Amino acid sequence: MSETGSENYVLFTRIKRGDDLTQVGTLRAPSDELAKLYAKQIYDEEDWVEMHVVKKSNLIPVRLPEGLLEKEGVK
């Protein structure tokens, strides 16, 4: 039972109206449907007013951290 085809998803939630939408975790799932279900079942510690899963590959990087070793001049 391999995880072939699974993708990383990032989970964002808002606890109450007016609160920030915050990243609370990540998960791996083979489909959007299962990603939504995993998010609901696993991250049920709060009565979230809002919850989103986003495929990590769909995040568009604007700025990324420089590799640590690279920054320190280690080749």
37 makes contact with other proteins (CB under 8 A): yes
Q: Smaller CB distance to other proteins: residue 4 or 74?
A: 4
Member of 21, 23, 40, 55 binding other proteins (CB under 8 A): 40
CB of 55 to other proteins, least distance (A): 15
Stretch binding other proteins (CB under 8 A), from 16-24, 28-36, 46-54, 65-73: 28-36
Task: Please tell me whether residue 60 binds other proteins under the rule CB under 8 A.
Answer: no
**What tokens were used for 12?**
């964002």
